[in-house]
Amino acid sequence: MKINVLVAEIGSTTTVVNAFNGIYDNCPVFVGQGQAPTTVGNGDVNIGLRMAIKDLSENLGIEDYMRYDELMSTSSAAGGLRMTVHGLVYDMTVRAAKEGALGAGANLHMITAGKMRKTDLNKLIEINPNIILIAGGVDYGERDTALYNAELISQLNLEIPVIYAGNVENQEEIREIFKDTKAQLYIVENVYPKIDQLNIEPTRKIIQEVFEEHIIHAPGMGKVREMVKGPIMPTPGAVMLGAKLLKEELGDVLVIDVGGATTDIHSVTEGSDEVNRLLISPEPISKRTVEGDLGVYVNLKNIVDRIGLDDLAYKLNIGTEELAMLVKSHKPIPASDIEKRFIEELTLEAVITAVKRHAGKFRYLYGPNGKKTIAEGKDLTNIRYIVGTGGALTRLPNRVEIMKRIASSNKGNELLPNKEAQILVDNNYIMASLGVLSEKYPEAATKLLKNSLGID
């Protein structure tokens, strides 16, 4: 048996391989899945990758080593795509740069506004990011801050790619600043070219290109190119591409991925005209947020503390001693009914909290002329589909009911999806794989994604 395309998801702990056939004649089929521990700690992720392919072969009843035409990959191993962002004003160019980085699938380890200090530089060296992003100033506006920060960063002479996405007037000077340094420089359009205008897509695109070009330098990823000849992208960036596919095919979409360490929210929506007229600052059409304190395995204790032991025991109808044992002996994959109920309560708290942090809200200002209504943040009121992906929302028995609770949790002033939004589940847990597949085979990826969601 020969497979058209394999897509590997190389995670921090697990490597998953998904197999697809019928790609070339546009009759795509999801064939099966294999997995194995990621071997990044051994300095060679290819070991885990080969083990996952072997597991897939065994699952499909293939005795000899699996043959395939193409192998693509997403990766969050070795800490994923670590970035730092340095801009001018936090609510303007810094926020625009941050949106571009997050949308590309980055994990932001440092954000600075204004002129950097020595302590900022020390922290930057300690973080040792995969990419440094410098922004600042609208086009033909303030120039000095971005140039100042670029000078300081260049003097560190780090062998780290630098992306400049600030005031267009600075581009030639930025080239001069980094000309004789170890850093490879990439210049892209300004992320914030005019007041209240975001331009983050060019930055997202170049971040993903730089990530793929420099991934071989990440610890443990040096040999990944020996097997993966197709595209490689950060796993969250691949999920965002999957969300964009759904937006084009179905309409405005919200994608929720509850994981062991984080909860990621992806939304693709222009919002409603009514709310847009009230917004005090622009929001990107495609937005991603990452909640690093909301994970149902690594960060389980955080969510338990948010709910409270007594309240959680009451919801589960068990004693606090039994609950304490559940917390102490929690597993990556719940097995018993009570373990599943326990994780469902944690997942519900993670979902509601993460979506509310992602969404905006109405605010009311009172002045001499009475009350004025304004809106700030991302408007999710036009969302037509809420999609659950990731381990928790594709495997838990009450996953649909959990996502339905989003609308009913609205306190009245929050820009959340309404009750009419349809709930969908990525049943095959392949959304990230289909995101990277869509780069080369968009029609096949769309069909496979709709099939996984149970849509004709």
Separation between Cα atoms, residue 146 and residue 121, nearest integer Å: 14
Q: Which of 5, 12, 7 is nearest to 74 (CA)?
A: 7
Largest CA-CA distance found in the chain, in angstroms, rounded: 79
pLDDT for res 164: 98
Helices (H), 262-367: 273-276, 300-307, 309-316, 320-328, 337-358
pLDDT for res 216: 62
SS3 63: coil
**169-186: per-residue pLDDT in tens?**
999 999 999 999 999 999
For 456, the token pair is 């004709």
pLDDT for res 368: 86
Q: Which of 440, 450, 456, 428 is nearest to 19 (CA)?
A: 428
**342-367: per-residue pLDDT in tens?**
999 999 999 999 999 999 999 999 98
pLDDT for res 176: 98
For 373, the token pair is 């209504």
Q: Residue ranges of the chain with pLDDT lower than 50? A: none
Amino acid residing at 277: R
For 442, the token pair is 């968009």
pLDDT for res 305: 95
| Beta carbons of 36 and 15 less than 8 angstroms apart | yes
- Which distant-in-sequence residues (6+ apart) come within 8 Å of 402 by Cβ? 344, 347, 348, 351, 388, 393, 396
Q: For the domain made up of 81-217, give the CATH fold.
A: Rossmann fold (3.40.50)
Q: What CATH number is given for 233-452 in this structure?
A: 3.30.420
The reply to whether domains 81-217 and 233-452 share a CATH topology is: no
Separation between Cα atoms, residue 288 and residue 264, nearest integer Å: 7
| Beta carbons of 188 and 202 less than 8 angstroms apart | yes
SS3 93: helix
Pairing of strands 29-37, 14-21: antiparallel
Q: What is the DSSP string of 164-184?
A: E-S-GGGHHHHHHHTTTSSSP
For 398, the token pair is 């009450």
The CATH class of 2-78+220-230 is: alpha beta
Torsions phi, psi for 453 (to 5 deg): -85, -5
Separation between Cα atoms, residue 122 and residue 128, nearest integer Å: 10
Separation between Cα atoms, residue 127 and residue 109, nearest integer Å: 7
Helices (H) and strands (E) in the chain, counts: 16, 17
Q: Which of 269, 272, 200 is nearest to 237 (CA)?
A: 200
Separation between Cα atoms, residue 387 and residue 253, nearest integer Å: 7
